[in-house]
Amino acid sequence: MSFASFMAQALYHPDEGYYRASQQRTGRAGDFYTSVSVGPLFGRLLARQFIELWHRMGCPAPFTLVEQGANDGTLLRDVLEAIRAFAPECFAQTLCFIVEPFPELEARQRQTLAQFPHTEWVRDLLHLPKFEGIHFSNELLDAFPFHRVFWTGSHWEELAVAWAEPGFFWIRVPITHPELQHAVKILPDDRPPGYTTEVRTSVTHWIKTLADRLQTGAVLVVDYGYPRSELYRPERSEGTATAYHGHRQHSNLLANPGADDLTAHVDFTTLAEAALASRFQLRGFCDQSRFLAGLGPLHFEDCPVPGPEMEKELRAFKTLFHPGIMGSSFKALCLAKLPDPKPLSGFRFGPDPATVLEIGG
């Protein structure tokens, strides 16, 4: 099978997949940390951006927030608590959807969000009604299944997965999948033989489906990844694919299906190109440091007077902002359908997104 098929089963199998399990996957007790693990500040900062977007959209009612990859619901809870506190008039119009395929995770999310009854669940984007508002995700796309491809020196081949005792192993096969054949045409052809990397064809389908559901508003993606030219640099000769377990990273992607988190960096250029083809506007792309620097003034002007709570917020901000911790590895991308061309606060310190992503030039 392709590695994309292997990964889909390893992560999303309804009985044996990594994400179907009810145990904690993030934070100290899990396998990796996210920005949500730092505390509620990340959600509060996102809420400031969402409130601004609500005003830019003309204060629609309802104002729909859609989260995908919500884990246990903590991020959405933090966002909603902040909107309720900072903009009660926006909160009164807010309706939420969570896209969640796993009943076990839905049950945890319902418990986390019990105080917010205006929240509904759908199994996939196809069941999401058309809406005006914001779709947001934090570390979602890095877990989308991907193909692994191998440069022979003259052409690309696929690294597929086979089974024989005592376990799974890699095998090189011709690329026959039409979408993968098309995708490898944009990869560099000057790499040394043996160069291996990842290609996600699923992202294009995802953004097309989302474009059909979102009528007016924005899509905010926060994840780790690079523009295409950075992602496929010569020194990344083994790609970026990795496995996590118990906060330890290793490269044997086939060792523990269902027990390890499997991931790879996002190709933000391919995502942005697919979004533009689906009539989205490219409204911002920058690292998390710049994104949070833009939102910080919106938040801290309303914060309590100096004291323990303020100190706690500032410590969390430093962790989220610091380039050596989370600030540079995570990126924020905004795709929009908005009549207002004014830059969003979260991207006011960011570079021109089309230039960074090498689109249109």
User: Which pLDDT tens digits describe the chain residue by residue (361 residues)?
Assistant: 999 999 999 999 988 899 876 555 655 555 556 788 888 989 999 999 999 999 999 999 999 999 999 999 999 999 999 999 999 999 999 999 999 999 999 999 999 999 999 999 999 999 999 999 999 999 999 999 999 999 999 999 999 999 999 999 999 999 999 999 999 999 998 999 999 999 999 999 999 999 999 999 999 999 999 999 999 999 999 999 999 987 688 999 999 999 999 999 999 999 999 999 999 999 999 999 999 999 988 888 766 556 677 777 878 888 887 676 665 889 999 999 999 888 899 999 999 999 999 997 5
pTM here?
0.93
Element (H, E) at 81: helix 74-86
Count CB neighbours of 130 within 10 A: 9
pLDDT of the residue at 26: 57
Please tell me what DSSP assigns to residue 124. S
* Residue 218, beta-bridge partner list: 134, 336
Cis peptide before 62 (omega within 30 of 0): yes
Angle formed by the axes of helices 288-300 and 41-56, nearest 10°: 80
* Residue 267, beta-bridge partner list: 226
Please tell me what DSSP assigns to residue 58. T
CA distances from residue 241 to 227, 246, 330 in whole angstroms, order as listed: 16, 17, 16
pLDDT of the residue at 304: 57
Structure-token match 């903590």, residue found = 74
Closest CA to 47 of 13, 80, 93: 80
At residue 161, φ and ψ (nearest 5 deg) are -115, 135
* Rounded-to-integer distance, Cα 74 and Cα 39, Å: 9
At residue 157, φ and ψ (nearest 5 deg) are -125, 160
Count CB neighbours of 228 within 10 A: 20
* Rounded-to-integer distance, Cα 261 and Cα 108, Å: 20
Query: What DSSP letter does each residue of 201-269 carry, written as one string?
Result: SHHHHHHHHHHHHEEEEEEEEEEEEE-HHHHT-TT-TT-S-EEEETTEEES-TTSSTTTSEEE--EEHH
* Rounded-to-integer distance, Cα 288 and Cα 78, Å: 18
* Rounded-to-integer distance, Cα 83 and Cα 89, Å: 9
Domains of the chain plus CATH, in order, are 38-147+200-239+266-356 (3.40.50.12710)
Cis peptide before 297 (omega within 30 of 0): no
Characterise 358 by phi-psi region: left (phi > 0), alpha (psi -120 to 50), beta (else). left
Helix (H, G, I), strand (E, B) or coil at 319: helix
